[in-house]
Chain A
Amino acid sequence: MSDNPVLERAQRFLAALRHCQVLGMAVHEAAAEGLTLRLPYSTRIIGNPESGVIHGGAITTLMDTTCGISTVCVLPEFEICPTLDLRIDYMRPAQPHKDVFGFAECYRVTENVIFTRGYAYQDDPSEPIAHVVGAFMRMGKGAQNISGGAA
Chain B
Amino acid sequence: MAALNLNTLVREAHEKNDYDTLISLIPYAKLLGIECLRLGDDMVFRLPASKDNIGNPILPALHGGVIAGFMEHAAMLHLLMFMGIPHLPKIIDFSIDYLRAGHYRDTYAQCQVWRQGRRVANVAITAWQTSQSEPIATARAHFKVDEP
Give the interface of A toward B (CB within 8 A): 16-20, 22, 43-50, 52, 54-58, 60-65, 68, 82-90, 93, 143, 146-151
Contact = CB atoms under 8 A, between A and B. Distances in A.
Contacts of A84: 97-98
B59 interface: yes
A133 to B, nearest CB: 9
A88 B93 contact: yes
A21 to B, nearest CB: 9
A58 B58 contact: no
A115 to B, nearest CB: 15
Contact of B61 (A55, A87, A151): A151
Nearest to A17: B55
Interface of B: 1, 3-4, 25-32, 51-59, 61-66, 68-70, 72-73, 88, 90-98, 101-102
A55 B90 CA distance: 10
B73 A151 contact: no
B58 A148 contact: yes
A20 B56 CA distance: 11
Given A44-B28, A46-B26, A19 B54 contact: yes
